Structure 1
Amino acid sequence: MNVRFLSRLVLVLAGSAATAWADITLAPLFRDGAVLQRDQPLVVWGRAAAAEKVEVKFRSQTVSVITAADGRWRVTLAPEKAAIVPAELVATGANTVVVRDVLVGDVWLCSGQSNMAMMVRSSADADREIAAANFPLIRHFKVPSVVAERPASDVAGAWAVCSPTTVGTFSAAAYYFARDLHQKSGVPIGLVNSSWGGTQIEAWMSEAALRADPAGKEVYARWEARLAEYPAKMTEHAAALAKWEAAKAEAQAAGKRFARAAPAKPEGPGSRWLPGGLYNAMIAPLVPYGLRGMLWYQGETNAARHAEYASLFTGMIKQWRAEFGENLPFYFVQLANFESGMGTKGDVWAHLREAQARALTLPNTGMAVTIDVGEPKDIHPKNKQAVGRRLALHARKHVLGEKIETDGPLFTGAKPDGGAMRVTFSHAGGLKLEAPQGDGRVAFEIAGADKVFVPAEARIDGRAVIVSAASVPAPVAVRYAWRNSPDARLFNAAGLPAAPFRSDKW
């Protein structure tokens, strides 16, 4: 081959590589249709060639920076007021990147597992809700479900403008939250939906946060044991899958319906259960995008290990706040009623709900109680309108400044009162008890010194509830809705349900 031709080829290839490296890229949420956070300094960042000048323009602002040796760049724009008129965000260096149709409003990170991921099209009254979804100032960004062993800097995804043709794939809980908030405030709402069904909280935390957590050692020990068992589990899975496929083929050959689901593949290397794996792939690339707050709906997959959840949950909140903004509002959903395969008597989910509620000791947190709107036989209740509305109550009060009730009755104490227990609450204005469901589910329970709980009667006495049972003449402890799927029938005047509680620590 001609030497001169080779030299030219090398120069062309080198020039192409340099051009590719020099191209400006923006962080993943800076894409067409984005919503930027109002009333906060606007951090914009990305990559380019080393020592390259990058200029960023948005509305009346222009700022510039010289990239670092690794090509990373970051600028901070002054806060902008809410804006419903779209603008362009322009980044210029060796090339120009134009982000179109950009609004300024309130941005919420929405995360968790399947009940956050559940789409509007699967919620109650889906057809009616979808047809009415004409809210172009609500935007939704779905972060793809991916795993990474190390923190990533980019992730795929696009902003979708809310309309009847797009809203069906939005997170239902997040959309109904945003709709309530938008209708009250009038400002654009951005929803960053980073959720994945069947995931554990430890996957959503950074390695550093997990290592520092009291439960972290057990989390990693459990994962190492899972990896050691994985080859044998995969062998078992292959056999079960072959048996399932044979049964399916036999049914189809006989013209019979076959509805049995295929056996699930074991969680193992590179799976959604990798500790820190979802934080690395689905949260880290978003940091430090400006947020108004965070929404969280998760816990089902951790219910069997509820003893460690309170520590992990508060640890995750602290970690995310350290990265996105100290003391950002964090509102979460306490798990709804669900039998969890244990009929009316199981209480594993009651313990998980208690662990969730302990996060309320952190400032600027709020809990949406859903113990009354679940479906005992379905882990995915369809009434996500109630979930979104109850989350929005916290934002309406603490972000928008409305003077409204945000919570149902919250347990504050219990003490013996004759042959009964007197239970007191906060948020107790207009206490009311609905009639029992009559389906065998339990509402109130009471116990004496023998620690044996029995179903109890309850009556309202002002802002307190008097709980008693004829078989327990000297009660010392009381519980309410302390079951996986209880009969939740205590409300306040705002129509909000009482959170499950126990006065004992047995």
Structure 2
Amino acid sequence: MRRVAPILLAALIATPAAAQGPLLNGLFADHAVVQRDRPVPVFGAARPGEAVTVTLGGRSATAKAGVDGAWRVDLPAMTAGGPYTLEAKAASGAVQTVSDVLVGDVWLCSGQSNMELPVERGNNSWSEIRSANDDGLRMAYVDHADSRSPRAEFLKAPSWKAARPDAVGSFSAACYYMARELRKTDKTPLGLVHASWGGSAIEAWLSPAALRRAGDYDNDIATLQLSLKDRPAADRRWGETIKAWWSLRHNGAAGGPWAGDGVWTPAPQGLGVWESWGVPVLADFNGMVWFDASVTLTAAQAKGAASLEIGMVDEVDTTFVNGVGVGSTSGAGTVRVYPVAAGTLKAGANRIVVSALDTYANGGLYGEAARALVLADGTRIPLTTWRYQVEPKETGEPPRAPWDTLSGVSTLYNGMLAPMGPYAFKGFAWYQGESNTGRPQTYQALLRELLAERRTGQAADMPALVVQLANYGKPQLAPEDSWWAQVREAQRLAVAKDGHAALAVITDIGDPSDIHPTNKQDVGKRLARGARRLAGQAVTTGPSPVSARRIGDTVEVRFEQVAERLATRGSDKAIGFELCDAAACRFADAQVEGDKAVIAIPAGLNPTKARLAWADAPTFNVFDMAGLPVGPFEIVVAP
């Protein structure tokens, strides 16, 4: 009998677990925290039809995997405690064991870069990191991942770590400081799951169903779903969407840059970021620039499919070949390579047009990657001669492709939230909005759907905490319209209408010159105040307006959630109030008394609205005796 090598023998007798992968969802890992005082959902994947038995803290349950391999059990509710061992055992013999599991409260923290900003980049980081020492506070980080369809499992399984110096520095500062503040008065084990991505829009974090409820996203959702079945068809459809947007912004013009229309200027050889070209209009330009190149082909060369390589684009492109959309990508560091379907090319001149949108810092076609059209037979035709034209600022920003990582529809919901499945949470903290300041009119509906969707499968009254946008931008010299103020108002109203949400106002602790303010300690404290109030504790979260009515030559605004009384800082007058009529808004003198502000009506004004701190970076001085600011607001004045 031939002898079997030891390594081969080991492979032959390997357990089924090694062959089929983990039984448990990635959130069930060593040092995890699971939610107390409610049934504990435990779930994962096994072979179709296979029975899986789960045991935790002396409680057991068995489930059978469905045809897709997915299984779930709900263990009886447990009180806070631990550590415990969690075990999942399949009928085939596969076993997965998770150790040091605590039962406590679990919070999901999500948003864009201000939620993502780590402790090591915030104030007093050296001391904060070195003083971290709390085994009862556990943290899990969800890696960046986008997807065009919902993922059943994480791209990379999260790992749980206790709050120690080697873990705290890279974790979300706002989320960590919120938890640390809560732990000062409640020693219940606390778990934090952090899933954020800098620059992301709220639309990327919502499912298609939630987006449909919030507004008109049907075309985007249909295009995204088409991309799963026929990506070239989806690229063509998206190209038509961009053309329709451009035509609408240009008074219904039939043609456009993709057809060669417009005034073109030769671009520098080698292209590169346009700020370096020495062209005055592009020296500090954020917006859209169109590029075009031409390739002449024979009938034989034009036959069949091809591939288009255009290198890197800072930061978003939609690319056309002979007026047909062939691709759209977001991300300055991504090399673009687009398939060109058979029938797109033609004998004679072929026009390649790239719209490059830049919203921050440098922009353009750049990098060392060669730009070329690669024919079906492998022939490379370099693209070396380019022209450009600048899209007027007045046109505004184009819509983003529905598969855009950060500004598309459902991409981060699919890649980062969907894999969490029914994992049980105590609450949800949301810190986002900067990327939606260009379209504030839709934000309230989107935020309300986000909060509702996060409660799906959770407690119906699950607490939700929302950080309002900080003060950022140019100083306010006169009453103005402000998209930042409009998003703040959308956040305020969404929270006010929710019933189980609290707002953390931070317009007094931001940095007008830095979109990423580093004082996240106070952000965390204000989030924790919201959590405590929603838990029924006798704490306030800051003054919020409830009514405004005209009384003689004044408008009286009353507030709730006032600690003791309102007070002004640095002046005996309340600064930052405005009164508005149908024509304009004007600054107005005001005084505060107890829980109200009394605003003097400027001569000749018949006020219909009152507002405070209505600017990108407002100046105001009204607080309560707990040191919490009156948040920005706009309210109708009753006669």
TM-score when scaled to structure 1? 0.85
Alignment equivalent of 1:59, drawn from 53, 57, 60: 57
C-alpha distance in 1 between matches for 2:420 and 2:111: 15
- 1:246–1:357 CA distance, 2 compared to 1 (3 A): closer
Task: Name the SS of the counterpart of 1:304 in structure 2.
Answer: coil
Q: Which moved more, 1:93-102 or 1:32-41?
A: 93-102
Q: How does 1:4-403 map to 2 (within 5 A)?
A: 22-83=20-81, 85-93=82-90, 94-155=93-154, 156=156, 157-217=158-218, 242-244=271-273, 264-266=314-316, 267=330, 269=403, 271-339=405-473, 345=480, 347-359=482-494, 360-399=496-535, 401-403=536-538
CA deviation after TM superposition for structure 1 residue 209, in Å: 1.6
Work out whether 1:445 is the aligned partner of 2:445: no
C-alpha distance in 2 between matches for 1:28 and 1:241: 46
Deviation readout 1:288-338 (Å, 9 max, x if unpaired): 001001000111111111111111111122122124342211111111111
Overall identity of the aligned pairs, in %: 34
CA deviation after TM superposition for structure 1 residue 473, in Å: 6.5
What RMSD over aligned residues (CA atoms) do the two structures have, in Å?
A: 3.4
C-alpha distance in 2 between matches for 1:362 and 1:18: 47
C-alpha distance in 2 between matches for 1:472 and 1:226: 52
| 8 Å Cα contact 1:49/1:67 also seen in 2 | yes
- 1:57–1:247 CA distance, 2 compared to 1 (3 A): same
| 8 Å Cα contact 1:419/1:475 also seen in 2 | no
Task: Name the SS of the counterpart of 1:361 in structure 2.
Answer: helix
Task: Name the SS of the counterpart of 2:272 in structure 1.
Answer: helix
Amino acid in the other structure paired with 2:70: R
C-alpha distance in 1 between matches for 2:223 and 2:570: 45
Amino acid in the other structure paired with 1:466: V
Amino acid in the other structure paired with 2:493: R
Q: How does 1:457-468 map to 2 (within 5 A)?
A: 457-468=589-600
| 8 Å Cα contact 1:414/1:422 also seen in 2 | yes
- 1:193–1:229 CA distance, 2 compared to 1 (3 A): same
C-alpha distance in 2 between matches for 1:79 and 1:388: 29
Name the one with the larger helix percent.
Answer: 1
TM-score when scaled to structure 2? 0.68
C-alpha distance in 1 between matches for 2:422 and 2:198: 25
How many pairs align? 473
Amino acid in the other structure paired with 2:209: A
Q: Which moved more, 1:307-316 or 1:20-29?
A: 20-29
| 8 Å Cα contact 1:431/1:493 also seen in 2 | yes
- 1:270–1:337 CA distance, 2 compared to 1 (3 A): closer
C-alpha distance in 2 between matches for 1:425 and 1:23: 56
Structure 2 unaligned regions, length at least 5: 1-9, 225-236, 244-256, 259-264, 278-311, 317-329, 331-400
C-alpha distance in 1 between matches for 2:590 and 2:531: 33
Structure 1 unaligned regions, length at least 5: 1-11, 249-261
| 8 Å Cα contact 2:106/2:192 also seen in 1 | yes
C-alpha distance in 1 between matches for 2:577 and 2:634: 10
- 1:239–1:139 CA distance, 2 compared to 1 (3 A): farther
**Runs of 4+ residues over 6 Å off in structure 1:** 12-19, 221-224, 238-241, 340-344
Deviation readout 1:10-65 (Å, 9 max, x if unpaired): xx999989776655521110011101111110010111122323221111112222
CA deviation after TM superposition for structure 1 residue 384, in Å: 0.9
- 1:263–1:456 CA distance, 2 compared to 1 (3 A): farther
Task: Name the SS of the counterpart of 2:447 in structure 1.
Answer: helix
